[in-house]
């Protein structure tokens, strides 16, 4: 073992019962990770979010937990993946299978219980080997809005845990013809590799056009012990063309095409229990194509203030390779799957005296095709079908009403109903002859906000939501290590939940804070259970409960100085079996300080997690860890060009640690050690 790496590791043990955990969680944290500075001035004290209600609403006036990550935060963080930045939001934890294909867990729920959107359109794909949040180049992101829990009726099945909406960069209409663009170049030492991006837009009073492209590459990284994490490399390319035309003062149309291609993406972990037959797992390709057409009508002098029709097509291709088998007759396997989604969404905004109503309908069809080519050591090739050819059609209607009861009181009511129709063509052990499955589900919420005394406000929300089991949970049959098999259950019932949250907010000029307490009661919770000597089967747990608390604070204690911190505590129980739920994030948070002096800024912070001992009987416990990050930057104007420089070091002490949440497939790997990075962005 590398002694310096071991000594640098932050070994602290925190054992906190629920009551003390909730009290400790109500301590410190920033409403946002580190605010964007411009010339030394802090901007956006109270972020405005659109995802929660479908209309712009201040975060502090939105019942339920929300979080926002900006373009500047992503770029300055030096993060390899978007979940690393999202994990700065209290209640959001990074999880997943590799640095490139990591995901997030929100308040104890992840993967299929969290809806991922890109420009408002759902990403449908398998989450057995993840990669949803890598389906967009993070340099092409304008902002990310996170809803923590089922606090909006706009998004149907799967939003029990929350919603992550990735909003990409767009052009804008201008009074005169203008040309704008930006280019960025970044490099890091661990993982080592370049990151390039650029965009160019042309605009006028009635049109805008924009194109962007990017490429990045990362070699396998080294952990805090100096050991190379084999098969953790990645490479991807991104391209986008978008444009909009304003037909009249009331009608405009936007069309965009997005393309992302991932190549040779390694999933580290060696021969850990989740990797099939001790093989190395690599996504040799992971591609996404997306076309979106949005027409918006904004009539004047009418109760209807906006009506939009959003049509989209999305195709995701995933092509893993499993090789280097150490035992058995298999030489390699090459599974493949395509996920094609067609979506139509009609949304309307009406303003009726004290009421603002958002209502509409949505239809989407997710079609999945999968195959697996298997080569034996004897040279015999065969084909398997891990999941039958299947489709899932969802038809839904939704409505929300923001009702101004009094100057200081706002009531938000929302509801949604969905009809789900699932078909499969058979061909697997789980579903030999094919079949159909139909579900009709509903969800709703009631949220109340009271402005006690500006800038203080309190809010409460109660919600009911659901999650229909998806194609994989119903029909999959996947070979794991040691001869184990994971299979679906066509008779799974939809998950249902009842959710409650109480929050206190302060959105002041020098002090911002957010405090929340929440409880989530789940019925027919879907998980996997060992049903035989060599079989795991997806099953419904009768009752599960998740409780938690979060606190964030950001304090401008002197001119140009800001202190910030956050903490989040979550506890989840399988009440049916009397055990802890799997993959519940431990007590965690961050604390830091930043200063801006004119065009120069710097920050130092520590991100940490306590040990996790509340695991399932067969689960692995998690150790505590802490890392220190430091970064600085400078911006300047040269003619019409704005230059922004950032230098940073993540994991400054080279701590050697494992993230408890990054073990969803039994994979065990250590997080990256010290990483120095630099980036330069120029815009005009």
Decide if pLDDT at 95 tops 60.
yes
Domain boundaries, the chain: 3-683
**What string of H, E and C letters represents the secondary structure of 106-119?**
ECCEEHHHEEEEEC
pLDDT for 653 beyond 60: yes
pLDDT digits (tens, 9 = 90+) for 619-648: 788 899 999 999 999 999 999 999 999 999
pLDDT score recorded for residue 281: 80
| Beta strands 114-118 and 162-168, pairing class | parallel
pLDDT in tens, 234-285: 999 999 999 999 999 999 999 999 999 999 998 876 444 444 445 678 888 9
Residue 326: the pLDDT is 65
CA–CA separation, 590 and 552 (whole Å): 10
The answer to whether the CB of 458 falls within 8 A of the CB of 428 is: no
Quick check: 19 pLDDT over 50?
Answer: no
Q: Residue 298: its pLDDT value, please?
A: 96
Tell me the pLDDT tens digit for each residue of 480-525: 655 677 888 888 999 999 999 999 999 989 999 999 999 999 999 8
d(CA 184, CA 166): 20
Mean pLDDT of 418-425: 88
**Chain segment 274-287, per-residue pLDDT in tens:** 444 456 788 889 99
Band of pLDDT at residue 373, cut at 50, 70 and 90 = confident
Fold of 3-683: Maltoporin; Chain A (2.40.170)
164-190 tens-digit pLDDT: 999 999 999 999 999 999 999 999 999
Please give the pLDDT value at position 10.
Answer: 36
SS3 content of the chain, % helix, strand, coil (to 5): 5, 60, 35
Cβ-based neighbours of 20, under 8 Å, separated by 6 or more: none
What phi and psi, each to the nearest 5 degrees, are found at residue 157?
Answer: -55, 135
CA dist 272 and 668 (Å) reads 6
Is the CA virtual torsion 420, 421, 427, 432 positive or negative?
positive
Q: Which residues contact 455 (CB under 8 A, 6 or more apart)?
A: 46, 60, 506, 507, 508
Burial profile 368-381: b = 16 or more Cβ within 10 angstroms, e = fewer = bbbebebbeeeeee
Percent of the chain with pLDDT over 70: 87
Q: Where is average pLDDT lowest: 132-146, 186-200, 318-332?
A: 318-332
Task: Taking residues 531-553, report their average pLDDT.
Answer: 90
Going by pLDDT thresholds of 50, 70 and 90, the confidence category of residue 150 is very high
Minimum mean pLDDT among 31-45, 160-174, 353-367: which range?
31-45
Strand pairing class (579-580; 511-532) = unpaired
* pLDDT: which is higher, 475 or 70: 70
- pLDDT score of 3 more than 90: no
* Cα–Cα separations (whole angstroms), residue 421 to 415, 430, 437, 470: 20, 18, 6, 11
- If one compares 506 and 11, the residue with the highest pLDDT of the two is 506
Whether residue 379 has pLDDT greater than 50: yes
How many Å apart are CA 149 and CA 156, to the nearest integer? 12
317-327 mean pLDDT: 78
Q: Where does the pLDDT of residue 157 fall: very low under 50, low under 70, confident under 90, or very high at 90 and above?
A: confident
* pLDDT over 50 (residue 27): no
The pLDDT confidence band at residue 62, using thresholds 50, 70 and 90, is confident
pLDDT of residue 590: 96
pLDDT recorded at residue 561: 97
């Amino acid at each position: 073992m590398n002694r310096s790496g071991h000594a640098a590791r932050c070994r602290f043990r925190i054992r906190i019962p629920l009551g003390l955990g909730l009290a400790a969680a109500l301590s410190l944290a920033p409403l946002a990770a580190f605010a964007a500075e411009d010339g030394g001035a802090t901007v956006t004290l109270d972020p405005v979010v659109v995802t929660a209600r479908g209309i712009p609403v201040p975060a502090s006036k939105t019942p339920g937990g929300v979080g926002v990550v900006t373009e500047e935060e992503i770029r300055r963080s030096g993060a390899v993946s978007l979940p690393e930045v999202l994990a700065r939001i209290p209640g959001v934890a990074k999880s997943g299978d590799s640095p490139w294909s990591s995901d997030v867990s929100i308040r104890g729920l992840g993967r299929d219980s969290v809806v991922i959107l890109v420009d408002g359109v759902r990403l449908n794909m398998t989450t057995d080997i993840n990669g949803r949040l890598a389906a967009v180049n993070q340099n092409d992101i304008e902002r990310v809005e996170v809803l923590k829990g089922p606090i909006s009726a706009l998004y149907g099945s799967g939003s029990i845990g929350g919603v992550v909406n990735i909003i990409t960069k767009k052009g804008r209409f201008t009074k005169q013809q203008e040309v704008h663009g930006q280019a960025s170049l970044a490099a890091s030492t661990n993982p080592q590799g370049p990151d390039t991006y650029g965009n160019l837009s042309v605009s006028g009073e009635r049109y805008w056009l924009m194109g962007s492209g990017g490429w990045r590459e990362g070699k396998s990284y080294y952990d805090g012990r100096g050991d190379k994490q084999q098969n953790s490399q990645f490479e991807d390319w991104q391209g986008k063309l978008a444009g909009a035309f304003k037909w009249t003062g009331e009608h405009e149309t936007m069309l965009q095409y997005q393309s992302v291609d991932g190549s040779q993406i390694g999933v580290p972990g060696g021969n850990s229990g989740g990797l099939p037959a001790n093989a190395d797992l690599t996504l040799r390709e992971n591609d996404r194509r997306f076309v979106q057409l949005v027409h918006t009508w904004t009539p004047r002098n009418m109760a209807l203030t906006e009506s939009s029709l959003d049509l989209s097509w999305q195709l995701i291709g995933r092509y893993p390779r499993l090789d280097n088998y150490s035992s058995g007759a298999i030489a390699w396997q090459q599974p493949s799957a395509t996920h094609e989604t067609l979506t139509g969404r009609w949304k309307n905004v009406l303003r009726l005296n004290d009421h603002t109503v958002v209502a509409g309908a949505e239809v989407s069809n997710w079609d999945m095709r999968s195959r697996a080519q298997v080569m034996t050591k004897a040279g015999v090739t065969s084909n398997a079908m891990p999941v039958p050819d299947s489709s899932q059609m969802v038809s839904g209607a939704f409505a929300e009403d923001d009702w101004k009861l009094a100057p200081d009181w706002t009531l938000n009511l929302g509801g949604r109903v969905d009809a789900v129709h699932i078909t499969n063509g058979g061909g697997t052990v789980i579903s030999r002859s094919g079949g159909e499955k139909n579900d009709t589900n509903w969800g709703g919420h009631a949220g109340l906000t009271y402005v006690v005394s500006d800038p203080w406000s309190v809010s409460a929300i109660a919600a009911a939501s659901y999650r229909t089991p998806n194609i994989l949970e119903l029909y999959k049959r996947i070979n794991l290590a040691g001869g184990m098999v994971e299979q679906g259950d066509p008779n799974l019932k939809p998950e249902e939940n009842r959710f409650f949250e109480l929050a206190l907010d302060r959105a002041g000029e020098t002090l911002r804070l957010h405090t929340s307490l929440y409880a989530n009661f789940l019925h027919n919770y879907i998980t996997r259970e060992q049903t035989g000597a060599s079989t795991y089967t997806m099953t419904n747990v009768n009752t599960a409960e998740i409780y938690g608390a979060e606190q964030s604070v950001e304090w401008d204690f002197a001119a140009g100085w800001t202190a910030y911190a956050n903490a989040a505590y979550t506890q989840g129980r399988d009440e049916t079996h009397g055990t802890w739920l799997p993959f519940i994030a431990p007590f965690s948070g961050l604390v830091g300080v930043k200063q801006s002096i004119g065009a120069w800024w710097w920050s130092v912070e520590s991100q940490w997690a306590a040990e996790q001992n509340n695991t399932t009987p067969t689960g692995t416990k998690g150790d505590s860890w802490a890392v220190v990050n430091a970064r600085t930057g400078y911006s300047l104007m040269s003619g019409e060009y704005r230059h922004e420089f950032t230098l940073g070091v993540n994991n400054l002490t080279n701590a050697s640690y494992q993230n408890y949440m990054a073990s969803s497939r039994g994979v065990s790997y250590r997080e990256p050690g010290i990483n120095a990075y630099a980036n330069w962005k120029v815009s005009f």
